[in-house]
Structure 1
Amino acid sequence: MSPSLQDNTSPWFNCLHQRPEAKCRLICFPWCGGGSQFYARWGKDFSKDVEVIGLCLPGRESRQSELLLMEFDRCVKILSEEIARLCSDKPFAFFAHSIGAALCFKTAEHLQEHFDQEPKHIFFSSSFAPHSQQIKDQVKDPEYTPPHELSNEDLTKCIAKMGGTPKLFLEDEDFMSRMFLPLYRADLKLMNGTKLLELNGKKPLSCPITVVEGNKDEDHRPKEFSDLTSGKFSHMTLNGGHFYLLKDDNCKRLKERIQKCIV
C-alpha cells in the first residue's frame, strides 16, 4: 500500500487539505519562530494535483509539550527519515522561507545521499545560500555575536526590523520574553548548528531551484543558489520586504508559480 497522510501519524506533518491522488507533495519549512499552520492553509489554493504539508518542529503548535530541538544534524536525520517514508510513492517539492532554507537544503542533501530521493523542485525564499560568502565573512568578524545570544531587547529589534510580527506582540514584553523569544532563540540555535558549506566546485543537487525574494528586502545574492544544483535555476522578485509572502497578492502569484513548476 502506498503511504499517505490519511494513515500517517507523524507529528512532523500538518496537512489540512489531504489529497491522496495528488501528483506531487509540497513540503514547506517554517521560518524562525514559525509554525506549520500558515503553510497548511495553502492547500486549499492549489489544484487537486498538489498536496501541501507544513512542517511542525517540536515545541510548538500540536507539539508544544515536546522539548525544543536544537541539534541541527539530528533534526535533519529525523526529518529526512520521515519525508523518505511518506514520499516513497510520488514526487515532492520543498519550499523554505528565510532561515528555514538551511534546514531545507541539508534535508534535501541528506535525502539524496541516504535515500536516493531528491525534491522535484526547491523554492528558497528570502534567504542566503548556505555557502554564501557574506555569511562566512560575517561569522569571521571578531565582533560577531550569534543571534541566539543577543539580549531580549536587541533580538526584539532585529525581529521588528524584518517585519512579519504584529506590533502588538512586539510591544508585549511578557509575551515576548515568556513565549516568543525562547522559541525564536531555539530556532536560531538550531540553525546555528549547521556547518558553513564548502562546495569546492561540486554541485550537490540536480533538481531545479527557484529563488524568491522581496524587492525591498536586503540583497541575498540569489544567483549564488545556482551553485547548489546542476539543474535549472530561476529567480522571482515580488513587491515587498522580507515577509513579502504575507501580502495576499504576492502569495497568490507565488502559489501560481509553484503550481506551474511542480505539476
Structure 2
Amino acid sequence: MALPVTDESLWFRRFHPRPEAEVSLVCLPHAGGAASFYFPISELLPPTVEALAVQYPGRQDRRHDTPIENIHEMAREIFEALTPLTAHRPIALFGHSMGASVGFELARLLEGELGTVPVALFASGRPAPSHHRSLDIHRRDDAGLIAELQLVSGTDSRILGDAELLRLALPAIRSDYKAAETYEYRPGARLRCDIVGLAGDSDIRVRAPEMAGWREHTAGSFRLEVFSGGHFYLGEQKAAVAGVITDTLRAATARLRRTID
C-alpha cells in the first residue's frame, strides 16, 4: 500500500522510496550515528521493504537541534512522528547498539499505546535491556571519548581525522553516550513481536549471554544471528544482514496475509 504524499518528517530519511512496499523498516542508529549509516542496507532491501532511517537531533542536517539525552524521551519523540504512518502499512524496527534500546522502547509504545505489534524487532550489537551496564564513557574528557570511538570504529574516519568536524560532532556523540549509558530498564509486559538478535563474533562491547538475554523480553519467537566482525560488523556484512532482514520480513508478511485471508 502506498503511503500518503506528505512532507518528510524531521525524523525520517527515505533514501530509496518504495511507495508500494509491504513493510516499513524503521532504522535506529547507534550512539553518534546518523540516518546515513543505514544507506547501504536500505539500498540492498527488496521492493517489498522501505527503510525509514531515523535522524536523531544534533547531527548532519539536524545539527542545530538539541540532542536528546534520554532513551525513553527519544523513543517517545520518534513514536509521535511515526504514529501517523502506522495505519498505512506494517512496521518493523532495526536498531544497532544504542538504537536497539531505542527500538525496544519504541516497540513498547507501539504495542502498549496503539496496539500495533511490530512485524519484528531486530536488536543489533546491544545487551538485552535487563542486562544493561555502563562504562561511563560519556563522563570521559574529549580525548577519552575519541579513544572509545577509535576502539570500536564507530565513527567515520574522515571525522576522526578532521579536527573541525570532530569538534562539531563531539557534543552529539557525548549526548548519545549519556542517553545509552544512563538508560534505565523499566520492568513490564513482554513484547508480543518477534525479536531477532544480531551480533559480531568479535564484538568487545557485547557478550553472547547479554545478546541471548533478549529472549526474556518477548512472548514471540527469538533467534540470534552471529556474523563475522566486531561491534560494527554491519559495514562488512551489509549484504548478509539485508538478507536476514529480507527473509524474516518475507516470512512474517506471508503469515500476516494468511491471517487476513
Pairwise CA distance, 1:259? 0.4
Residue 185 of structure 2 is aligned to residue 196 of structure 1 = yes
Runs of 4+ aligned structure 1 residues displaced above 6 Å come to: none
Structure 2 unmatched runs, 5+: 251-261
Are the counterparts in 2 of residues 5 and 18 from structure 1 also a CA contact under 8 Å?
Answer: no
User: Between Structure 1 and Structure 2, how many residues are aligned?
Assistant: 247
Partner of 1:119: 118
Instruction: Provide the alpha-carbon RMSD of the alignment.
Output: 2.1
CA distance in 2, matches of 1:235, 1:72: 24
Aligned ranges for residues 75-224 of structure 1 at < 5 Å?
75-132=74-131, 135=133, 146-167=136-157, 169-176=159-166, 178-198=167-187, 202=189, 204-218=190-204, 219-221=207-209, 222-224=211-213
Partner of 2:218: 229
Are the counterparts in 2 of residues 84 and 117 from structure 1 also a CA contact under 8 Å?
Answer: no
Pairwise CA distance, 1:33? 0.6
1:11-56 CA-to-partner distances (Å, cap 9, x unmatched) read 1010021112111011100111110012144333211111111000
CA distance in 1, matches of 2:111, 2:246: 23
Are the counterparts in 1 of residues 70 and 183 from structure 2 also a CA contact under 8 Å?
Answer: no
Structure 1 unmatched runs, 5+: 140-144
1:216-235 CA-to-partner distances (Å, cap 9, x unmatched) read 11314221000000111111
Single out whichever of 68-77 and 12-21 deviates more from structure 2. Answer: 68-77
1:234-258 CA-to-partner distances (Å, cap 9, x unmatched) read 11111111101111xx110110110
Pairwise CA distance, 1:113? 1.1
TM-score, reference length from structure 1: 0.86
Aligned ranges for residues 22-41 of structure 1 at < 5 Å?
22-41=21-40
Partner of 1:241: 230
CA distance in 1, matches of 2:196, 2:177: 24
Give identity over the alignment, percent: 26
Distance 1:184 1:112, change over 3 A: same
CA distance in 1, matches of 2:10, 2:158: 30
Partner of 2:244: 257
